Amino acid sequence: MTDAAMHEDSAHRWQAIGALLFGACVIGFSGILMRLTGTGPAAAGFWRLAFALPLLAVMTRRASGPLGRPTPIALLAGLLFALDLGFWHYGLKYTSVGASTVLSNLAPVVVTAFAWIFLKQRPRALFLIAMGVAVGGAWMMGAGRGAGTPVLNAPLGNLLSIATAFWYALYFLALAQGRKTQAASRLMFWSGVVGAPLLLAAALLMGERILPATAAGLAACAGLGLVHVAGQGSIAWAMGRLPTSLASVVVLVQPVVATYAGFLLFGEALGPLQTAGAAVALGGVVLAQWAARPRPQAAA
């Protein structure tokens, strides 16, 4: 590879990392907007996708022509994303924005564990230690409670948020697979077409409030749609240009943004145990990804 080609490849890599950082920061505000919609948790997820779909349709047609038909991986991604949003939004209902976002971002550990169990990619011993650290941090997040943090049922909310990490990890893997053959906007459009009715059905079954009661709530629903297109769209775009393991680490900026925003808007200050737990959990996730990095090939 020539120096010019190497420089171009490095520039594309940093562009993708920049897109990931931007997307993660934007998505960090989705929990705040969900709280402001005034609807039920699953209903907020429905509005997020419903407002995003027209924008995604326009983007897809301009970028790559007709919408075409959904592929199996797009349908699977839609199902997984609906489960991800449903579990996460209910976690947000019962616990703090910061705790829910940190716990749901244990997904990188799940991604690597999935590769070990199903793809027979055995991790190093250091990964197992890192997983223990991440789980220990998650327990600290669940056991502690910040002063002045209004929560309905922290243990239930934390459990739902941890379950979210499982669905988010599978969605991440499906997204990475889909980006090998599809444009980001088309993949997101068809996954939204699948996810929106599933979330609406869940909201109706749970007896949730579907329509926002105020203009501010409607604006928050529209904001969720914009956040989805800008944030998740940037992440999906970058997924076609970066390894999945690296991408899953970079998006860990999301809980930092969410925790800070929750503190500013809702007074959700983390207590000492939760603060330490957040650092330990995220540190364990980062260490797990470092331990799971590809081994260098022996020189010929």
Please write the tens of the pLDDT for every residue from 23-56: 888 988 888 899 899 999 999 999 999 999 999 9
Distance of CA 263 to the CA centre of its chain: 20
How many structural domains compose the chain? 1
Using a cut of 0.75, tell me whether the model's pTM lies above it.
Answer: yes
The answer as to whether 118 is a domain residue is yes
The answer as to whether 10 is a domain residue is no
HSE-up (13 A, CA, CB side) for residue 1: 8
* Residue 224 CB-density burial (10 A; 0-12 exposed, 13-18 middle, 19+ buried): buried
Range of the domain at 168: 27-291
Alpha-carbon span 295 to 300, nearest angstrom: 15
The answer as to whether 18 is a domain residue is no
The answer as to whether 202 is a domain residue is yes
The answer as to whether 22 is a domain residue is no
Tens-place pLDDT, residues 223-241: 999 999 999 888 888 877 7
The answer as to whether 16 is a domain residue is no
How would residue 298 be classed by pLDDT, with cut points 50, 70 and 90? very low
The answer as to whether 123 is a domain residue is yes
How would residue 295 be classed by pLDDT, with cut points 50, 70 and 90? low
Tens-place pLDDT, residues 190-208: 999 999 999 999 999 999 9
The answer as to whether 144 is a domain residue is yes
